[in-house]
Amino acid sequence: MSGKQNSALGEQLSPTSGKRNKTPKPESRLAMVRRARRINRELADAYPYAHPELDFENAFQLLIATVLSAQTTDLRVNQTTPALFAKYPTPEDLAAAEPEAVEEIIRPTGFFRAKTRSIMGLSAAIRDDFGGEVPGRLKDLVTLPGVGRKTAFVVLGNAFGVPGITVDTHFMRLARRWKWTDQDDPVKIEAEIATIFPKSEWTMLSHRVIFHGRRICHARRPACGACPITHLCPAYGEGETDPEKARKLLKYEKGGQPGQRLKPPPDYPGKPAPALGAIE
């Protein structure tokens, strides 16, 4: 009879002493895929309400909000876009705006001059090349100024229902912690993850992983002691394992705080984010 196995680590426990054997058994590809899919299922239980954390009402708004979210938080973008979309509701309106007026509105998101050039440039391209409608194909979206694959997948997945994997900083960190990949390059990570999960899961998987990275599995101090998937995680112990201390590290609805969206979906269990200027 073989010893007990820790499914996350592929290590053998001695049947007599119960102690961990010195040489861990490497996890097979099949075992990793099973473990990865189980993580996805358990994250679905932990975050049944996972969603994009940018406020938007149509594909154009989501595209603009995603471009503005570079180097800042979704909260800051959500606090900024209501004034922008009220003044410039269509690509035509934004393409014809005074750049200084746009810069003034989006200033809180940082890099506001470059972002103004991008959002006005992509609005002009949508007006001139795509009849005023945001295109629903990857190859068209990536021709727009300031739009890379990550932005394009966010728009495709959430405004057009096209499955896509969003490899942002949280996704990269967690995929590596969970040993789904050892790549550093987002395009290579995306390609590897695509072989682990069925296409129908890609968009929601991305939301769940990003939710978990923002709330529990932080870059510097993951809240391991308050994590629902410790039994599946090879990186358990990289962060705070004391349950009491770990609970204090939780963010957004898991920590009893407001979320990032001013208008969250109806099933969101947390509080909406405050408007710009309100006490946060």
Least distance to ligand SF4 from the beta carbon of 6, Å?
Answer: 13
C-alpha pair distances (Å), 134 with each of 129, 138, 267: 10, 11, 28
Which position among 135, 222, 259, 264 is part of the footprint of ligand SF4 (CB under 6 A)? 222
Answer for the pair 143, 125: CB distance below 8 angstroms, yes or no.
Answer: yes
Q: Is 93 a catalytic residue?
A: no
Q: Is 233 in the site for ligand SF4 (CB under 6 A)?
A: yes
Tokens of 23: 């040489």
Among 55, 74, 115, 150, which one carries the catalytic annotation? Answer: 150
How far, in Å, CA of 199 to CA of 205, rounded? Answer: 10
Window 142-181: contact mask with ligand SF4 (x via CB under 6 A): -----------------------------------x----
For residue 120, which of 136, 105, 138 has the smallest C-alpha distance? 105
Q: In whole angstroms, how large is the CA radius of gyration of the chain?
A: 21
If the CB atoms of residues 39 and 105 are measured against ligand SF4, the closer one turns out to be 39
Q: How far is the CB of 214 from ligand SF4 (least distance, A)?
A: 12
Binding residue for ligand SF4, selected from 77, 209, 229, 249, defined by CB under 6 A: 229
150 labelled catalytic: yes
For 13, list phi and psi in degrees, rounded to 5: -100, 135
Q: Backbone dihedral region of 58: left (phi > 0), alpha (psi from -120 to 50 degrees) or beta?
A: beta
Catalytic residues: 150, 168
- Give the residues lining the site for ligand SF4 (CB under 6 A): 177, 216-217, 222-224, 227, 229-230, 233, 235-236, 238-239
